[in-house]
Each structure stands twice: as structure tokens, then as C-alpha cells.
Amino acid sequence: LFGSRRVADGVRLEVWDTGPGIPEDQHEQIFREFHSLSRQGRAHFKGLGLGLAIADRICRLLAHPCGLRSWPGRGTVFSVTVPLARNIEQSPVTAAQSASPRDLAGLRVLCVDNDSALLAGLVAVLQGFGCDVLSATGLEDARRVLAGKAPPDIVLVDYQLDDEDGFDVIDALDADWDEVVPAVLMTADRRAEIRERALEQGLAFLQKPITDTALREMLESL
């Protein structure tokens, strides 16, 4: 059963099922990667345990709270709370100001993030914008997926990676391509010096968690 409920300044979207429910001590674990609940004594398809992890990361990426309520033996409710758009009175604009934003359909975007679930969430959002997305977990992985391909239109790179940081990846890829491709540095690290360094190097900057609106506006501006 799919439904919606009005809450404060938003809407809570809910999915109800009548399955066996989820024990309370499993409520946190169920959102972890590769975690599947055991269904002893029942024939069932055992998934990879990634669906809820990816959904949770997408919700965090968009800053939309994800909820879980469950009653063992009765069923479970998963929910996502999304904000309501507000009507804003628009002032008169000039022809230049009212120009259409950049069309994101077909935009080639490379995403680099070592968090596989968060990376999958980011890819899903970008594909929803109509972008043609390539993804990688680090520099060498990016080189592998880009082998034989033209440079992307835009690069989105997380600051904290396994063997290098986002600045290293952007510099190395620009050197590989012998050109400077528009790049966005993303990070949950709130140190001012990271943002300042990014802007000094001519990079765009996005602070995590990233809303879909902020991401779209950034891509349209590059």
C-alpha cells in the first residue's frame, strides 16, 4: 500500500506491507549494505541487501528524512518526508534574466565517490535529471571507466577518498585530458579552508548533504 500524509511543511510518503515485520534490534542494521534479514523456513528470493542502503543514502543526499516503523508478525512501514514547494510571487524580469537554464539532458557527468551506496544515490539523482553518468570510486577507477572515451562535460568529486583527495583526482584527470573540465568538489567536511581552496582553484563547491535543487542549480550554472 502506498500513501501520503501531510506533516507540518511537508508530505510524508509511506509504503506499507503486510510481511513478517522487522525486529526492533534490526532497525538500524537493515539499512546497512549487504544486510538481509533471514527468513528461516520460508522460500524466498534473497537479494543483495543494497536496496534500502541505497534508498537511505539518496534520502540523506537530498536531506529528506527516511523513517521505519514495524510490528513483528504484522508488517512494516517505510517513509520519506519531502518538503512542499511554496508559491513565490515573481517580479518582472528582463529577457536576459528569463533565459532558459542549461538543459541537463545528455550532459555527460563523471561522479567519483568511495562510498558505493552514496555514489549510487548520486547517480540515480543525476540520471533523473537526464544526465549521462559515469561513476568511479577513485582515480584509477575513473581512468578505467573513461578509457577510450572523450572527457566528460562536468566532474563531481568527493573530497575524502581512499588513496587520494578530490583535489588530487581533479588535477590528475585534467592532466590526463590536457584540458580543464568544469569540476565540483563535494564534501561533508565543514572546514572553511577546504571550501576556500576549492574556490581559489576555480572549482565549484557543494556542501553535503546535497539537495537535488542545489545540485541541479550547480550543474545549470557550469
**Bond before 209 cis per omega within 30 degrees:** yes
* CA-based torsion, 151, 156, 162, 168: positive or negative: positive
Is the per-residue pLDDT at 135 higher than 50?
yes
| All CATH 3.40.50.2300 domain ranges in the chain, comma separated | 108-221
Burial class of 92 by CB neighbour count within 10 A (0 to 12, 13 to 18, 19+) = exposed
Residue intervals of the chain classified under CATH 3.30.565.10 are 2-83
Residue carrying C-alpha cell 510571487? 89
pLDDT interval class at 172 (50, 70, 90): very high
Cβ atoms of residues 184 and 151 within 8 Å: no
The SS3 call for residue 56 is helix
- At the fourth CATH level, which superfamily is domain 108-221? Response regulator (3.40.50.2300)
Residue written as grid cell 576556500 = 196
Query: Mean pLDDT over residues 172-183, rounded?
Result: 95
In this predicted model, what pLDDT tens digit does every residue of 25-78 receive, in sequence order?
Answer: 777 777 776 555 655 434 344 444 567 777 877 887 777 888 888 888 888 888
Q: Report the CATH fold assignment for 2-83.
A: Heat Shock Protein 90 (3.30.565)
Q: Is the pLDDT of residue 18 over 50?
A: yes
**Diameter of the chain by CA atoms?**
68
Average pLDDT, integer, range 92-114: 73
Q: Which residues pair with 2 in a beta bridge?
A: 15
CA atoms within 13 A on the CB side of 161: 26
Average pLDDT over residues 89-105: 58
Residue 44: per-residue pLDDT:
45
